[in-house]
Amino acid sequence: MKQRIYRYLSVLSFALVLSGCVLRNEQQPAPVEPAKPAPTQPEPTVPSVPQVPAQPEPVMPTLPVTPQPRVRHYDWNSAFQPMVAQMLKADGVTAGSVLLVDSVNNRTNGSLPASEGTQALRNALANNRTFVLVTDQQLAVAKQQLGLSAQDSLGSRSKAIGIARNVGAQYVLYTSAKGNVNNPAIQMQLMLVQTGEIIWSGKGAVQQTQ
């Protein structure tokens, strides 16, 4: 009987020991494996861009410089003043008559600022006591009536006489510049409108100021 009890106790003790081992194994946490490092991503390879050599700036063609025409200046006043003084003393001139001053006509071998000469001539006659001058407005109206532009230079004696008759002038002063443009010769003629007769003529020269 005692032997059975001992066997039973032995078996029970072994069972308890075995169960305790099982409990320890169940309660013991499983070993944690160390985290594996994330795989390193390779850096992206940027393809190299070939360098384009700098293009030289286009060279603009050099245009030839056109020389400006030389502008000549003349001392018209010194040329006209003595000639006008002589004309005002001419025989056969009736004081108080109407005088048409024609534009200075360029007959030289070059370009001449004839409009400056015309203005200087009219200025020389502005305060005279012998003639009444046809105004620029009267002359422009007469040219318009004859179908001419206001800038039209009469150019010929016959045309100047025709304009003078239209404005009621008794005299026409016809002036021309001739010869070398660097030293033009001036010729002035005072004509009767009624007959076209030249009652006075004079000559002079105009000098360049530059």
How many Å apart are CA 136 and CA 145, to the nearest integer? 14
Distances (CA, A) of 54 to 51, 58, 142: 9, 12, 71
pLDDT score for 22: 47
Domain count, the chain: 1
pLDDT score for 152: 58
pLDDT score for 92: 84
Q: Is residue 58 part of a domain?
A: no
Distances (CA, A) of 118 to 25, 113, 186: 135, 9, 12
Q: Is residue 52 part of a domain?
A: no
pLDDT score for 136: 85
Q: Is residue 131 part of a domain?
A: yes
- 151, 139 in Cβ contact below 8 A? no
Q: Is residue 150 part of a domain?
A: yes
pTM over 0.75: no
DSSP string, 104-143: PEEEESS---HHHHHHHHHHHHTT-SSEEEPPHHHHHHHH
Residues with pLDDT less than 50, the chain: 21-23, 25
Q: Is residue 46 part of a domain?
A: no
Q: Residue 186: which domain range? A: 76-205
Kindly report the CATH number assigned to the domain that includes residue 85. Answer: 3.40.50.10610
pLDDT score for 75: 95
Q: Is residue 68 part of a domain?
A: no
96's torsion region: left (phi>0), alpha (psi -120 to 50) or beta? Answer: left
